[in-house]
Amino acid sequence: MCESCVEKSAHKVGAGTPVSPDRWFTYDVVAEDPGTHARAGVLHTPHGDVPTPIFMPVGTKATVKGILPDTLERLGTKILLNNTYHLSQRPGADLVEEMGGVHEFMQWHGPILTDSGGFQVFSHEEFFKLSNAGVRFRAVDYDGSWVEWSPEKNMEIAQKLGADIVMQLDQCVGYPAPRSKVERSVELSSMWADRCFAAHTRPDQALFGIVQGGMHLDLRVRSLRHLEDAGDFPGYGIGGYSVGEDHDTMFESLEPLCAEYMPKGKPRYLMGVGNPTTLVRGVACGVDMFDCVLPTRTARTGSAFSSEGRLNLRHARFTHDHAPLDAACGCPTCTGGYTRAYLHHLVRQKEMAGSMLISQHNVWYLLDLMRRAREAIIAGTYADFVSDWMASPAARDW
C-alpha cells in the first residue's frame, strides 16, 4: 500500500471533527453525449480512479460469489460493492476493522462501496419497526436477535468497515405503495441523511446521500433538494427503484430526475439495477454507476447474457453445441475453449465450475458493455449506440 494510503487508513473512527472528503474524492465529467443525457467521467478515490459509466460487481459478504479478487481485476473490475448489513452481522464490523478494513480483509485493493444495509433491513417485512430515531429489526437470517440501528450507529459500522464510499441510512418502500407511505419514506430518509452527515467523520471515505421518492418525480425532487441543503455530499445514490415496478415505469421519473434536477458535477448511482438493457437506457438518462447481484445470481441458475440475448444453459438444445458461450465475447470463459455443451453439462450436474465460468462471463459482459458505452459517449455517438442495442438480439435480456 502506498504511503498516503497507509496514512489515510490509520484514521481512527470517531476521532477529530468532520473533514471534507474533497481532498480525495472528486468527479470529473470528461464528455457529454450530444444526442442523449449520457456523460463519461472519472471518479477519484483513495484506492484508484473509476471511469464512468461503470458497473460494480456485488460482493455482498466481502466476496463476489465464485470469483476471486485477482480474477475480478483481470475481468476489468474498477470498483465493487459490499453490504453493510451482512458484514455487520457476520463477521461483525469490529472484526473487519481489526483485520485492517474490508480492503485487507478480502484482499481487494481497488475502490469499494458499501451500501447502508437499509434495503436488506426493510426486506424483513414484519420483523422491523420504524421510528424517527431509526429502525429496530430482527436478524432472522442470522441468529434471530433484535438489532437497533440509528443513523449514527449505521455510520459507526460503515466507518469501521472502511470502504471508499458509503451510503446514508435510508428507508426504501416497495412498489406499488400509497403516496403517503412514499412521503413518509422521503421524510425519514431526509431526516436520517442529516444525522448521517453529522455523524460521518472519516475523511478518507465519501458519504453519498440517497434520493428516495418512489415513482413520484415531485417527491424525488423534494428528497434531492433536502440532500443538497443538508450538506456537501460528494455523490448521490438513487434508491427505491427496481422494487417491483416495470422498467418503463422507472424511466418515467428517472430520466427527468437525472437530466433536469441532479447536479452535473457529482456522480449519480442507480442502486440495484443490472440487466444490460436497463444499463444502456440508464446511461442515456445520465446515470454514472450501477450495481446488482444479477450477473452472479443468474449465473448460479445457468443463465448467461449474450449478444444473442439471455441464454438458459440448462436447455437441452445446448447438449451437443460446440460453440463458445458467446462468439462475440472476449471474456476468459468464451475465449478459453469452454463450449456451450460443456457449460450445459456443468449446470445440469450442479458443478461449481459452471457457476464460476458463467459468473465470470456475466460480470465481464456488463463491464465491457459499460466500457463500450463510455467510448461511444466520448465519440459523441451514444444515441446511435442505444438505437443499435435496442434493435439487436442482445436487448432480449429478460
Calculate the CA 210 to chain-centre distance. Answer: 12
Q: What is the predicted pLDDT for the residue at 21?
A: 61
AA identity, residue 389: W
- The per-residue pLDDT for range 239-282, each reduced to its tens digit, is 999 999 999 999 999 999 999 999 999 999 999 999 999 999 99
Q: How far apart are CA 352 and CA 356, in angstroms?
A: 6
- In Å, how far are 93, 177, 213, 221, 239 from 183, measured between CA atoms? 32, 10, 7, 12, 14
Band of residue 125 on the pLDDT scale cut at 50, 70, 90 = confident
Kind of pairing, strands 165-167 and 206-211? parallel
Give the residue ranges of the annotated binding site for substrate: 115-119, 170, 212, 240
AA identity, residue 2: C
Domain residue ranges in the chain: 3-292, 293-386
| 134-158 average pLDDT score | 95
Give the residue ranges of the annotated binding site for Zn(2+): 329, 331, 334, 361
Band of residue 14 on the pLDDT scale cut at 50, 70, 90 = very low
| 324-353 average pLDDT score | 98
Q: What is the predicted pLDDT for the residue at 121?
A: 79
- The CATH number given to 3-292 is 3.20.20.105
Active site residues: 115, 291
Q: What is the predicted pLDDT for the residue at 4?
A: 38
